[in-house]
Amino acid sequence: MKGPARLEVQDLVVSFGGLRAVDTVSMTVDPGEIVGLIGSNGSGKTTLLDVVSGLVPALSGAALVDGEDLADYLPEERAAIGVVRSFQECRLFPELSVEDTLLLTEDARKTTDVLSATMQLPWARRVEKAKRRAVDGVIASFGLERFRYHQTRQLSTGTRRVVDLASIVLAHPRLLLLDEPTAGIAQREAEAFVPLLRRLQEVTGATILIVEHDVPLVFDLCSTVVVMQTGRLVASGPPEVVKRDQRALDAYLGASEEALRASGPLSDQDQAPGRAGP
């Protein structure tokens, strides 16, 4: 499969009734880049991911991967070209072990007919061995060995998230869309997600667009931060630039002085005009 993908969003508009959830948004995510998308609830972040992953149609505009318009691709067809999406809720089978959950992910990608598997034909045995090697690899990469035989319902929310990320690696993403990967997990577990997500990017080499409410995580992890408000893009750039962008402060960062402080102190020259430093 090709390397990391390039995502281009061009004048994208999404409407629900009379509400414009995404209002003429344009942005580019370069191959191998990690871009963070932040904004208050209802700003259009998740809807933007929904359009790129094929769950919601656009009223106008386009989402392109490597220059190709995705409009005619079904969600499963987008997954086949490496556009992989995570969701705020981990959709894991509670009664399955971690190992079986990951094997199920591999089974979905590399199907073996029942007769060949039952008769243990040589090619079927080779496929099964390859699946187990892939699962062993992600279990080792994400430190899940001690949870291998635990049912997923026995795991903490944070560990289930890690299993979900491990399953994403098995899908071989070229463009990875992460929707609130730290939602609902304890602060202590959330702090471990920066190195974990960096590891995810190292293992997959994928381009990553991440929607996240944890501002410090986004500022620490991402090379570019995009701020949305009521469907529009109001600020974009490197974290140190966005942190002192008055539009970003007014739209989102300024709504939480605590979040701004947590994302790192500003020097005197970095402070936005008219605002006291955290």
Q: Which helix (H) or strand (E) holds 78?
A: helix 75-80
75 and 185, same domain (yes or no): yes
Is residue 262 one of the residues assigned to a domain? yes
What the block records as the tokens of 10 is 């061009």
* Separation of alpha carbons 82 and 174, rounded Å: 5
3-class DSSP assignment, residue 21 = strand
What is the domain count for the chain? 2
Q: What pLDDT score was predicted for residue 156?
A: 86
- Residue where a domain stops, chosen among 170, 189, 204: 170
258 and 190, same domain (yes or no): yes
Q: What pLDDT score was predicted for residue 111?
A: 52
Q: What pLDDT score was predicted for residue 93?
A: 81
3 and 128, same domain (yes or no): no
Q: What pLDDT score was predicted for residue 110?
A: 53
**Domain around 56:** 1-82+172-266
Of the candidates 65, 68, 52, 66, the one whose C-alpha atom is nearest the C-alpha of residue 14 is 52
Is residue 89 one of the residues assigned to a domain? no
Q: What pLDDT score was predicted for residue 9?
A: 97
74 and 185, same domain (yes or no): yes
**CB of 86 closer than 8 Å to CB of 177:** yes
Q: What pLDDT score was predicted for residue 37?
A: 96
Q: What pLDDT score was predicted for residue 247?
A: 87
120 and 201, same domain (yes or no): no
Q: What pLDDT score was predicted for residue 260?
A: 47
What is the pTM assigned to this prediction?
0.79
117 and 177, same domain (yes or no): no
Of the candidates 191, 179, 192, the one whose C-alpha atom is nearest the C-alpha of residue 38 is 179
Is residue 271 one of the residues assigned to a domain? no
Q: What pLDDT score was predicted for residue 124?
A: 64
Q: What pLDDT score was predicted for residue 268?
A: 37
- Residue where a domain stops, chosen among 112, 138, 170: 170
* Separation of alpha carbons 83 and 75, rounded Å: 9
- Residue where a domain stops, chosen among 122, 146, 170: 170
* Separation of alpha carbons 247 and 229, rounded Å: 10
The ranges of the chain with pLDDT < 70 are: 1, 88-91, 108-124, 254-278
